[in-house]
């Protein structure tokens, strides 16, 4: 378990070396050291993190550091409520035209860390939890999951998966487990939306099975040159219907569903004969007309049943 110590000490050469030597002699493993000047001249503040699960040994290192002549005060912040931040150095290797692809992605996040046409990344800024996830998503190196049991979201660095050599498409079952969130801004409201959509899909899946109207599965599409596979919300093989689910029939969601369906359709195998949006309620007239103009069916829930409004 990590122990966090905050030290206030003399701003003189050799002090850092004496503290590090003390920790080394006591056989403690240093996780990190961050030091900087304070508002008081001649005093440096250091945040020292060591990895020591033994409480008795923790007290020992605390008392030993306090005993150093160069150290004015030591605060054990391990059990205190505090903000913890981690530093990441992101290095991107690009060639030729690839720089334009990063330029497009990074432009969305330029307010976070600075941007210039001649200098893609510059400067330094402390990012909060949400902005950090945005930065990772800008380079597509983060995975976001939701633990439905503990009702917590988890962000992890993506595994070192190589880009797909060829574009492929395969049918996979629809599970009832963890919800995978792929949006840039992963906040609680986004997780709730994903949970609502998954619940809607599972209800529709159960309805089809009960009424013997086909089996609902989904398709996993890997695009050539991309790391992250795309997953559709639903596929009914008997009618060759590709489905995109949305938590509510808002204009934003309907527009997004249309774009996703058209994007999936290009690579989907088997080739879809019908496209459909799965909604909890029937949309208002203008949005229904929009879907009809694109020849996209509307599947909506009514009185614990699902009704399909075919638009072609």
In this prediction, residues 45-52 reach a mean pLDDT of 84
Location of each CATH 3.30.70.260 domain in the chain: 2-76
Does residue 299 surpass a pLDDT of 90?
A: yes
What is the structure's pLDDT at 182? 42
Pick the CATH number of 2-76 from 2.40.10.120, 3.40.630.30, 3.30.70.260, 3.90.1150.10: 3.30.70.260
Kindly list the distances between the CA atom of residue 78 and the CA atoms of 64, 144, 198, in Å, as whole numbers in the listed order: 17, 27, 39
Give the pairing type, strands 216-222 and 234-236.
antiparallel
**pLDDT tens digits for 104-142?**
444 444 554 454 554 444 444 455 555 565 555 555 555
HSE-CB for 293 with a 13 A CA cutoff: 9
Q: What is the DSSP string of the chain?
A: -EEEEEEEEE-STTHHHHHHHHHHHTTPEEEEEEEEE-SSTTEEEEEEEEE---HHHHHHHHHHHHTSTTEEEEEE-TTS---------------TTHHHHHHHHHHTTHHHH--BTTBSS-S-----HHHHHHHHHHTT-EEEEEETTTTEEEEEEPP-PPPBSS-EEEEE---SSPEEE--SS--HHHHHHHHHHHHHHHHHHHHHHHTT---EEEEEEE-BT-SSPEE-SEEETTTTEEEEE-SS--HHHHHHHHHHHHHHHHH-SSPPSEEEEEESSPPPHHHHHHHHHTTEEEEEEETTEEEEE---
pLDDT, position 291: 96
> 271 near 287, Cβ under 8 Å?
no
Q: Is CATH 1.10.3470 correct for 168-309?
A: no
Phi, psi of 161 (to 5 degrees): -90, 130
Look up tokens 């001249």; give the residue: 41
pLDDT of residue 280: 93
Which region among 74-78, 264-268, 284-288 has the lowest average model confidence (pLDDT)? 74-78
* Tokens (6 digits) for 230: 């795309």
Per residue in 216-270, pLDDT (tens digit) is 999 989 888 877 788 899 999 999 999 999 988 999 999 999 999 999 999 999 9
Phi, psi of 240 (to 5 degrees): 55, 50
Would you say 27 and 52 are in contact if contact means Cβ atoms under 8 Å apart? no
Place 184 in a pLDDT band, splitting at 50, 70 and 90: very low
Q: Length of the chain, please?
A: 312
pLDDT level of residue 95 (50, 70, 90 thresholds): low
258 φ, ψ to 5°? -60, -45
- Residue range(s) occupied by CATH 3.40.1350 in the chain: 168-309
- Measured from the Cβ of residue 53, the count of other Cβ atoms closer than 10 Å reads 9
């Amino acid at each position: 378990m990590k122990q966090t110590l905050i030290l206030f000490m003399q701003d003189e050469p050799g002090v850092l070396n004496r503290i590090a030597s003390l920790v080394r002699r006591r056989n403690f493993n240093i996780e990190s050291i961050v030091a900087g000047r304070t508002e008081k001249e001649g005093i440096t503040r250091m945040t020292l993190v060591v990895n020591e699960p033994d409480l008795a040994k923790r007290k020992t290192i605390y008392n030993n550091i306090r005993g150093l002549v160069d150290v004015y005060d030591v605060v054990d912040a391990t059990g205190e409520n505090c903000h913890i931040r981690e530093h990441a150095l992101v290095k991107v290797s690009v060639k030729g035209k690839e720089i334009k692809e990063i330029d497009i992605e990074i432009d969305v996040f330029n307010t976070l860390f600075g941007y210039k046409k001649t200098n893609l990344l510059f400067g330094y800024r402390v990012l909060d939890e949400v902005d950090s996830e945005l930065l990772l998503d800008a380079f597509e190196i983060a995975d976001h999951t939701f633990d439905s049991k503990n009702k917590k979201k988890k962000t992890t660095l993506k595994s070192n998966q190589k880009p797909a050599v060829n574009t492929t498409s395969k049918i996979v079952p629809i599970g009832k487990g963890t919800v995978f969130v792929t949006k840039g801004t992963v906040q609680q409201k986004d997780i709730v939306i994903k949970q609502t959509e998954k619940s809607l899909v599972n209800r529709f899946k159960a309805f089809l099975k009960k009424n013997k109207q086909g089996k609902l599965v989904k398709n996993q599409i890997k695009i050539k040159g991309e790391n992250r596979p795309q997953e559709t919300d639903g596929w009914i093989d008997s009618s060759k219907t590709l489905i995109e689910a949305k938590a509510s029939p808002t204009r934003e969601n309907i527009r997004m569903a249309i774009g996703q369906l058209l994007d999936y359709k290009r690579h989907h195998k088997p080739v879809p004969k019908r496209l459909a949006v799965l909604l909890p309620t029937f949309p208002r007239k203008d949005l229904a007309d929009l879907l009809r103009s694109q020849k996209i069916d509307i599947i909506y829930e009514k009185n614990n049943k699902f009704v399909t409004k075919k638009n072609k």
